[in-house]
Structure 1
Amino acid sequence: MSSSPWKVIGASGFVGSAILARLRAEGIEADPIEAPRLSTHATDAKTLIKEARRLEAIIDSLADSFAGAEVVINASGLAAPSQQDLAPLVGANALLPAVIAIAAQRTGIKRLIHMSSAAVQGNVEVLDSTPVTQPFSAYSFSKALGEEVLLNLERFINKQAAAGAAPGSAHSDFPAAPASAPATVAPHHALELCIVRATSVMGRGRRTTEAFARFASSPLASVAAGNHRTPIASNYALAEFTVKVGAFDGHLPSIVLQPWEGATAKSVLVDAGRRLPLQIPASIARVAVAAGYAISEALGDRFQAPVRRIELMWFGQDQDDSWAQEHQLIPTPRVSEVLRDAHTALGKKQDARFIS
């Protein structure tokens, strides 16, 4: 049985593969774990936790895969911002994280890093690491629900551990896992759980990145006048930051935000399109966004997601990455490189002013 100190769930996916590659590049032993597929019609945290606790066969399977690990990274999930069907979204983005956390606690794992999305905070002026969420789509709702589930489990685990009855320990009603070879869980052991909120992540081979480069290369590319910071980032920087968080020598906060990579709403369009985007007066752009939201609301919020994407393109969004700054965990910025590579991959003609 493998005894690698790190395990990556969903290592074949876009984010998971980047994290696994980063771990191996740093000489850290890590094993990939395939994520089970779950679906559920539950839409509240309490019900999801109850449902997760009943999935003993999956808990056992995951616990068996966790053998010998100290850090587990959950990079699985369903990244489908346009999808409306809640059952598979909640299954992948909320129910599965709960099952993973339960299995990790009952196996005595030291630290679980869960990859979430800054989309859970919606159109707040500044993204941060507070538990407040404002989901605006089925996808962001499922990710926000996943965070709520994990924060609830964290409080329960800490409470039980403080009382000497940590889940998986001898005095707990919740047995150690896997059932075939139960782990030894100390009575005061509490899984350290940290949610990493990824921002708008771009990378080679991602359809979202290709579509962004294609749009940025077109005459339709536009931005609101001004110097607006944007949360668009690279998968390389996210992977580097996640590994830094997992290896952090100290107590982790419950939620951390992926740090800003220095990009602006204008710079990402220039990098991805190799041309200057149309600049729209900020006042006109704000009126257009407000009108879009009003029309969407009148039609049952049907266009919330696309209007939000336009708003992000025009105005970007600021980030409070003070925790990462304070602890010197800022990764190497590579978003410009990723977007320029995406443009080159399109094979489109470049504006001579931007060939460098």
Structure 2
Amino acid sequence: MTASSWRVLGATGFVGSAITTALQTKNIAVTPVSTPRLASPATTVHHVIEHAHRLESVIDYLADSFAGADIVVNAAGLAAPDQTHQQSLTGANALLPVLVALAAHRTGVRRVIHISSASVQGDAPVLDESIRTAPFSAYSLSKALGESALYRLRADWEDQPHAPHITVLRATSVMGSGRRTTRLLAKFASSVFSSVAGDGTAPTPVTSVKALAQFAVAAGEFPEPLPAVILQPWEGATTGSVLRDAGHRHPLQLPPFLCRAVIDAGYWVSRLANNRFNGAIRRLEVTWFGQRQVPGWAHENGVIPEPNVQEVLRQAHLSLGK
């Protein structure tokens, strides 16, 4: 796609601002769209879509904002893995994507890219590009619900030639300058507690926001139809390399059976607290054990962004002043 016009929701946020910058660097016309604040009690795909259809004024606002656009990127949402207020999470991460799709359909937008999260697949041994999800927290549940609602719309519109093509782009564990998650990782990696399960060679889906932005732009410009789900490509990080880059020290190599016992105990305690700590425990689990991912659509089509995660992590360590 050439000479296209883009709209980006969440353009002032962590991911959205990076995508906007990547578009501007390529001299692609892009306009930010303010994101409505939403909440929803919906718990099923049917109820999310039903709720969205009742919000006619919001659809009108978004449709007006999308006028003349070819591509819409929804990088908005509530990135709060530890939050437990389900209605706020559902509004931001499930209801909003449906409203964006409905407005894009009304306006004649050609392509909608929804930025989701690989966390929707939980502790799957290998992240893939199937629509299968296994949410483990309030946050991942809201993201999975948003994905499922978009798949429903995509299927419903399959025979409509002028309907937008909807694609879910699953971001992995994205790091970037100034992000709280990145600072916390650097602090952990710089401490005496820095550790991995085993020898630290397990691949881990820790990536950079710059690479995510480049990938989103490349996907938007791709001249052929996109699949329902595409996964942010792996940047070559391992559990050991992430901690060495972020902490400038070699992590302890702990026995995997001991690490697994700690993680299992953590989930047991979290269940007693209504799964309140699942997000934090899952982050530790990925830090210790990593998680593999399929090469997927990006490798099949040669759409591979430039790796940047090593630089981001090393800068995060330097920013600690250690």
Taking the aligned partners of 1:243 and 1:302, their CA distance within structure 2 comes to 35
Q: Deviations over 1:62-117 (max 9, x none)?
A: 11111111000000000000100011110000001100000001111100000000
Taking the aligned partners of 2:308 and 2:225, their CA distance within structure 1 comes to 28
**Corresponding residue for residue 79 of structure 1:** 79
**Corresponding residue for residue 173 of structure 2:** 200
SS at structure 2 position matched to 1:266: helix
Taking the aligned partners of 1:338 and 1:4, their CA distance within structure 2 comes to 30
More deviation in 337-346 or 299-308?
A: 299-308
8 Å CA contact retained: 1:229, 1:316? yes
How far residue 214 of structure 1 moved from its aligned partner, in angstroms, is: 1.1
**Corresponding residue for residue 311 of structure 1:** 285
How far residue 253 of structure 1 moved from its aligned partner, in angstroms, is: 0.2
8 Å CA contact retained: 2:7, 2:32? yes
**Corresponding residue for residue 276 of structure 2:** 302
Q: Deviations over 1:195-241 (max 9, x none)?
A: 00000000011111111111111111110113110101000000000
Does 2:219 align with 1:210? no
SS at structure 1 position matched to 2:157: helix
Taking the aligned partners of 2:222 and 2:318, their CA distance within structure 1 comes to 36
Does 2:34 align with 1:61? no
Does 2:235 align with 1:288? no
Q: What stretches of structure 1 of length at least 5 have no aligned partner?
A: 162-187, 349-356
State how many pairs are aligned: 319
Taking the aligned partners of 2:80 and 2:275, their CA distance within structure 1 comes to 17
Report the RMSD for the aligned CA atoms in angstroms: 1.3
**Corresponding residue for residue 316 of structure 2:** 342
Taking the aligned partners of 2:259 and 2:308, their CA distance within structure 1 comes to 29
Q: Which amino acid aligns with 1:221?
A: S
**Corresponding residue for residue 237 of structure 2:** 263
8 Å CA contact retained: 1:198, 1:258? yes
Does 2:15 align with 1:12? no
Taking the aligned partners of 1:329 and 1:4, their CA distance within structure 2 comes to 19
**Corresponding residue for residue 305 of structure 2:** 331
How far residue 4 of structure 1 moved from its aligned partner, in angstroms, is: 6.7
8 Å CA contact retained: 1:121, 1:127? yes
Q: Which amino acid aligns with 2:259?
A: A
TM-score relative to the length of structure 2: 0.96
Taking the aligned partners of 1:290 and 1:225, their CA distance within structure 2 comes to 17
SS at structure 1 position matched to 2:12: coil
Does 2:211 align with 1:237? yes
**Corresponding residue for residue 222 of structure 2:** 248
1:278/1:297 CA distance change after superposition, 3 Å: same
Taking the aligned partners of 1:305 and 1:9, their CA distance within structure 2 comes to 25
**Corresponding residue for residue 168 of structure 1:** none
Taking the aligned partners of 1:138 and 1:289, their CA distance within structure 2 comes to 19
SS at structure 2 position matched to 1:79: coil
8 Å CA contact retained: 1:258, 1:321? no
Does 2:37 align with 1:37? yes
**Corresponding residue for residue 198 of structure 2:** 225
How far residue 126 of structure 1 moved from its aligned partner, in angstroms, is: 0.4
Q: Map of 1:183-198 to 2, 5 A cutoff?
A: 188-198=161-171
**Which segments of structure 1 move beyond 6 Å, counting only runs of 4 or more?**
none
1:236/1:52 CA distance change after superposition, 3 Å: same
How far residue 298 of structure 1 moved from its aligned partner, in angstroms, is: 4.6
Give me the identity figure in percent.
53
Taking the aligned partners of 2:131 and 2:262, their CA distance within structure 1 comes to 30
How far residue 292 of structure 1 moved from its aligned partner, in angstroms, is: 2.6
SS at structure 1 position matched to 2:166: strand
Taking the aligned partners of 1:299 and 1:64, their CA distance within structure 2 comes to 44
Q: Which has the larger radius of gyration?
A: 1
SS at structure 1 position matched to 2:192: coil
Taking the aligned partners of 1:150 and 1:101, their CA distance within structure 2 comes to 8
Taking the aligned partners of 2:42 and 2:257, their CA distance within structure 1 comes to 42
SS at structure 1 position matched to 2:37: coil
How far residue 295 of structure 1 moved from its aligned partner, in angstroms, is: 3.5
Q: What stretches of structure 2 of length at least 5 have no aligned partner?
A: none
**Corresponding residue for residue 106 of structure 1:** 106
SS at structure 1 position matched to 2:158: helix
How far residue 322 of structure 1 moved from its aligned partner, in angstroms, is: 2.3
**Corresponding residue for residue 165 of structure 1:** none
